[in-house]
């Protein structure tokens, strides 16, 4: 991690979707490493939540739609970054049923726009495109999906992420991306939890909201299992991947999974139990029917990332849930110190 920190110190890094959940944690980690961070995002009403723990005043902020290719190009060209992390997306499966066209347009054409910008701006040395574990055609197999498995999607969100992956692969295999000077990869992760997430229809935000609003917790699928991981787990993978692409683009330009061991899963009910145990609160769950189709099981095989990138999932599921609960406890009782607490979790993860 010392090598990772020294690599990013004073490096110019451009992050799309920097005011989102993952984006805010990535920005916070980069700032802690001493990177010069530039961000591009839509003006999102959720930003007020993320700025409680992410210091956007230390970021050169550009605001615009990822679909506005001219505005995006001007922001990147003005920033002159060495590296780009592309996270801008419509990130919710449930929202994709309500706004399918917006979801597909944002996730597919937004990715296409960033690839085209990078092709035109020659000084950029690496691009990490964040997609999702839901890019795979999900037959709910137990072994965990490998990077070579079939892509697909039975909902607009999953289909959009699979399509983005296919476009990336076409550019790579057609040699439209010059790998002599530019490293490009996609990163697939899912079931990410962590402090600061207030998204709809996600179990941890629902738990936190039930406390803040003093309401009963409603759970759709308590017996569904997922390989849960803290947001810093995939972010560490993105950072390692960005560094590898920068130094050896031909060797590392590809697709990578970032997730816990395929043997690890926890049910939604167990996640809720651990979360409230950490907070010392008893909460009764009420079950409701889901308004949209959800996978009961979705796992990734991360052997490629483990071996080729020397990345590993280090906190484990129980600790990830506990650290997430600690963040929300801090939010509930001492919101003024959230930045310091978030930074302490980043330091704990990367340096302890």
The CATH number for 81's domain is 3.40.50.720
Provide mean pLDDT across the span 165-192.
94
Residues 6+ apart with CB under 8 A from 11: 35, 36, 82, 83
For residue range 25-68, what is the model confidence (pLDDT) as tens digits?
999 999 999 999 999 999 766 677 788 899 999 999 999 999 99
296 — pLDDT class (breaks 50, 70, 90): low
pTM listed for this prediction:
0.94
Using CA atoms, how far apart are residues 37 and 60, in angstroms rounded to an integer? 7
Domain of residue 198 covers 2-351
Tokens encoding 309: 């990138």
Spell out the residues 6+ positions from residue 312 whose beta carbon is closer than 8 angstroms to its own: 306
Per-residue model confidence as pLDDT tens digits over 100-132: 999 999 999 999 999 999 999 989 999 999 999
Q: How many domains does the chain have?
A: 1
**The pLDDT of residue 262:** 67
């Amino acid at each position: 991690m010392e090598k990772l920190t020294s690599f990013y110190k004073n490096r110019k890094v451009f992050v799309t979707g920097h005011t989102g959940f993952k984006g805010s944690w990535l920005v916070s980690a980069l700032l802690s490493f001493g990177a010069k961070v530039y961000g591009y995002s839509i003006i999102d009403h959720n930003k007020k939540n993320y700025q409680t723990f992410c210091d956007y005043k230390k970021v050169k902020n550009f605001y615009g739609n990822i679909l506005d290719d001219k505005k995006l190009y001007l922001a990147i060209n003005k920033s002159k970054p060495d590296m780009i992390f592309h996270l801008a997306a419509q990130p919710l499966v449930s929202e994709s049923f309500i706004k399918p066209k917006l979801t597909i347009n944002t996730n597919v054409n937004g990715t296409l726009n960033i690839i085209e910008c990078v092709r035109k701006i020659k000084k950029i040395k690496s691009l990490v495109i964040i997609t999702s574990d839901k890019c795979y055609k999900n037959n709910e197999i137990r072994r965990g999906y490998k990077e070579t498995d079939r892509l697909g999607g039975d909902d607009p969100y999953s289909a959009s992420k699979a399509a983005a992956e296919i476009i990336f692969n076409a550019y790579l295999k057609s040699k439209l991306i010059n790998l002599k000077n530019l490293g490009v990869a996609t990163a697939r992760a899912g079931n990410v939890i962590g402090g600061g997430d207030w998204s709809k229809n996600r179990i941890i935000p629902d738990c936190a909201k039930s406390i803040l609003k003093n309401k009963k917790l409603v759970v759709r699928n308590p017996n569904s299992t997922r390989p849960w991981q803290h947001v810093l787990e995939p972010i560490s993978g993105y950072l390692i991947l960005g560094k590898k692409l920068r130094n050896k683009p031909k060797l590392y330009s590809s697709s990578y999974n970032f997730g816990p061991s395929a043997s690890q899963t926890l049910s939604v009910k167990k996640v809720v139990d651990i979360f409230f145990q950490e907070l010392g609160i008893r909460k009764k769950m009420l079950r409701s029917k889901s308004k949209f189709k959800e996978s009961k099981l979705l796992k990734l095989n991360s052997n490629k990332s483990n071996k080729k990138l020397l990345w590993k999932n280090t906190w484990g599921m129980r600790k990830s849930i506990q650290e997430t609960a600690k963040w929300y406890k801090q939010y509930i009782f001492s919101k003024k110190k959230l930045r310091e607490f978030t930074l302490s979790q980043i330091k704990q993860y990367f340096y302890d």
